Amino acid sequence: MNKLPTIRRIYSVFFFVLFLVLLFATDFRHLKGYETALFLEISPLTFFATLLSSFTVYKGIILSLFVIIPTIFLGRFFCSWVCPMGILNQWVSHIFNKRKNIDHNKINSYRSFFAFKYYLLTFLIVLAAFGSLQSGLFDPISFLTRSFTISLFPAINHSAFTMYLKQPIFSGGIIVTLIFIAVMFSNRFLTRLWCRVLCPLGALLGVISAFSPMRIRRDTKKCTDCRKCLKYCQGACDPHAALRQSECHLCMTCIEECPEGALHYGLKKQHSSEHLPLDVSRRRIIETTIATAVLFPMMRSAVNARTLDTASVIRPPGSIPEGDFLRRCIKCVECMRVCPTNVLQPALFEAGLEGLWSPVLINKIGYCEHNCVLCGHICPTGAIMPLTVEKKIKTKIGTAFYNRGRCLPWAMNIECIVCEEVCPTSPKAIWFQNTELIMRDGSIKTLKRPFIDTKHCIGCGICQNKCPVHDSPAVYVTSIGEHRSRTNQMVLKGN
């Protein structure tokens, strides 16, 4: 009896559990030395895309070689043995496949539109070559990390059994949730639809594994064309005929299902059948490249954070300049998961189309904790550089301003010192000026009216978050004055 399918199942459970453990480990924010971004760093798609977009190989991205090199020789093993997204899709598909009256031969046969993922890969690679990193939108590791962080974990925290846990909330979370549910539910109609049709990482691994010597082989002398190998074929690679090597996930179920022992994994033998080449149209590849080249300047010409220095786009401390930031951020939202105050939120379109799901600070939800440096240490690509606490508390990410028409001491002559009390800088960026006022009834009242010292304000946003004027705080933070930008600065002229 072939043991490979059993071994593969053990490995898949191990790596999926490991993915969950590492994702949960980011909640234990003081555990240092744990490689919680391991799965994000081993993605070859992240490696190639960030290399093209930023011309840098950062941090642990070199770990992707531990996937690339074995794939060259062993085939596309990552998709069913290691990839948590592939493993999850496989399990969900298995549940749906238990329905009656399913034509497994039809569902698991190769179809021409499965080649779409190769054109999507081309689109993402060309964009990266032009300096726009969008691979994180479709990279399965980033996709699953983002979905679990923004959708699944908050739902678990909200359950009746875990109400004692901190409840994170995320801007645009319903959109991420609906996309995740749609991808999972699509397995009801087509087994592992994401893996077969949409996954650019799978497409990249398919290209890398196209000439691997180790692969599923069919002995033409033993095969009776019973097609039982198609029953649970996860890659729709047609193992009963001329197998499509680039589509094979090496799930090994075809070997397990074959009653004649005609299938095996290994080197070519005397009666081994031929394998079909990569099913990609060169014309479609050229058309995709041209279409991307036309789309890119249109996307860049749209109004976005880089053209306007949008005030609401406040990046985490340690973020590199906006252009470089967008060339490195893979929208994995790991920084949001590790943020202790929930201030880091996924951007929608305030940072432009290129900034979709990238991290921004929304001070109505939280604030940047003064002594926290976690986001820079968890970032797998260097979009947020790691800082020491000493450097972080001096890093300016924006500047606070007062809306005096809403500030209680300024607009209503009501005493309030909340913003000054919570200001964490030393010396405090908020100071008071004692003012004597003549009230309506003629009495005299002395009030402390607050001012911002922009030299000391770092834009942490705690004053905005704690302001007692809840609907629209009287103090607000914009990105102006941030240390990472030479242009997004205030020009102060002396008398």
What's the pLDDT tens digit per position in 343-382? 999 998 888 888 999 999 999 999 999 999 999 989 999 9
Choice among 4-13, 96-105, 169-178 with the minimum mean pLDDT: 96-105
Mean pLDDT throughout 102-106?
Answer: 76
- % of the chain surpassing 70 pLDDT: 93
pTM attached to this predicted model: 0.89
pLDDT at 304 over 90: no
Of 416, 414, 408, 423, give the one whose Cα is nearest residue 477. Answer: 423
Residue 306 pLDDT = 52
Choice among 21-30, 88-97, 122-131, 216-225 with the minimum mean pLDDT: 21-30
pLDDT in tens, 16-30: 999 998 888 876 654
Exposure class string for 182-192: b at 16+ Cβ within 10 A, else e: ebbebbeebbb
Residue 397 pLDDT = 96
- Beta carbons of 264 and 314 less than 8 angstroms apart: no
Residue 158 neighbours by CB distance under 10 Å: 13
Helices (H), 26-64: 38-41, 44-54
Average pLDDT for the chain: 89
Residue 462 pLDDT = 97
Given the structure tokens 């007692």, which residue do they identify? 468
**Domains and their CATH numbers in the chain:** 4-266 (no CATH), 305-392 (3.30.70), 399-478 (no CATH)
DSSP state of 320: P
Distance CA 333, CA 339 (A): 10
Residue 186 pLDDT = 93
pLDDT at 482 over 90: yes
Residue 31 pLDDT = 52
What tokens were used for 179? 């996309």
Distance CA 156, CA 213 (A): 44
Q: How big is the chain by its Cα radius of gyration, in Å?
A: 27
Distance CA 304, CA 314 (A): 13
pLDDT at 494 over 50: no
pLDDT at 305 over 50: no
Distance CA 324, CA 257 (A): 50
Distance CA 306, CA 488 (A): 10
Choice among 160-164, 378-382, 395-399, 477-481 with the minimum mean pLDDT: 160-164
Residue 14 neighbours by CB distance under 10 Å: 12
Distance CA 373, CA 336 (A): 12
